Amino acid sequence: MTKPIILTGDRPTGKLHLGHYVGSLKNRVILQNEGKYDMFVFLADQQALTDHAKESEIIKESIGNVALDYLSVGLDPTKSTIFIQSQIPELAELTMYYMNLVSLARLERNPTVKTEIAQKGFGESIPTGFLVYPISQAADITAFKANFVPVGNDQKPMIEQTREIARSFNHTYKCNVLVEPEGIYPENEAAGRLPGLDGNAKMSKSLGNGIFLSDDADTVRKKVMSMYTDPNHIRVEDPGQLEGNMVFHYLDIFGREEDAATIAEMKEHYQRGGLGDVKTKRYLLDILERELAPIRERRLEYAKDMGEVFNMLKKGSKHAQSVAAQTLSEVKAAMGINYF
């Protein structure tokens, strides 16, 4: 019996943070452990190179870090195939064929690409590889005939474009080789975009406002103690505001059902006055550590043998390549370029 296929991944351009965790990693681990899917998770190093071509050393370092992030949150190589994009040349070859089915105007309209172009300040010098990365992402997804792609909300336009490419390919070559995937997005809209510790709308490495999955306990404590709360809540007895208060925002996201009553009580107390920020932060720290401590422990265990981690990636890549090669041969047959 074949299971539905899941494909997902991240650009290795640094370490993963809590925003990645609640936005998609957590979802993936749940899906993996349901055991109902054949799951592929990969490090999109070629996509990372599209805007880090001259800093390839960052990518090399990040491969190890993100692999550890994956293993430490509970992605399990005995259940999922974990692999590296650049080790599967079939993906680049598929990209080549798909490029002929997508117009330049369509690429320029992709909202995520548009935002990124503005953010990165490419000006007139947008690398061609960057502009076409949604096509390469379509290759990543379709090479595995993925039915589902669990990702953050920012990836919706990529899934949409992948669906268009799959449809266009099947239509153009009168076949049914490619599968149109569906995105799986965070259930909780708020978790889909975790704000930074400083209250900025987005947690990000470059803004320096995040908690990394690899942070040690002391670093996490310091970061939580520095979180943005209510600047007008000066004395403990002052009434405090919940709106824009990152401690309460995080409590809403990371609190579990059994914490709901305590959190509701704290909110009331805070607004009434008499509840200090140090107390709310200590409570949040406990809630976060409940999640982070086991992740940290697993990381330390895996990090003892990086050779084994890379071995796992090698094995995963080998398996992934055999799957992608099968799709590529079907693609070439559909196009009629299987000459011999």
- The pairing of strands 80-84 and 38-43 is parallel
Angle, CA 35 vertex, CA 34 and CA 37 arms, to 5°: 105
CA atoms within 13 A on the CB side of 23: 20
Which stretches of the chain bind ligand TRP, using CB under 6 A?
7-11, 44, 47, 137, 140-141, 149, 151, 155, 158
State in angstroms the smallest separation of the CB of 11 from ligand TRP.
4
State in angstroms the smallest separation of the CB of 311 from ligand TRP.
23
State in angstroms the smallest separation of the CB of 229 from ligand TRP.
30
Angle, CA 265 vertex, CA 263 and CA 266 arms, to 5°: 65
CB contact set of 272 (below 8 Å; sequence gap of 6+): 239
Q: Closer CB to ligand TRP, residue 158 or residue 295?
A: 158
Q: How far apart are CA 162 and CA 141, in angstroms?
A: 8
Q: How far apart are CA 305 and CA 108, in angstroms?
A: 43
State in angstroms the smallest separation of the CB of 141 from ligand TRP.
5
Q: How far apart are CA 37 and CA 7, in angstroms?
A: 10
How many angstroms from the chain centroid is the CA of residue 301?
A: 23
Would you tell me how many other CB atoms lie within 10 Å of the CB of residue 225?
A: 14
State in angstroms the smallest separation of the CB of 115 from ligand TRP.
12
Q: Closer CB to ligand TRP, residue 23 or residue 240?
A: 23
Task: Enumerate the β-bridge partners of residue 39.
Answer: 6, 80
Q: How far apart are CA 99 and CA 126, in angstroms?
A: 17
Q: Closer CB to ligand TRP, residue 21 or residue 248?
A: 21
State in angstroms the smallest separation of the CB of 151 from ligand TRP.
5
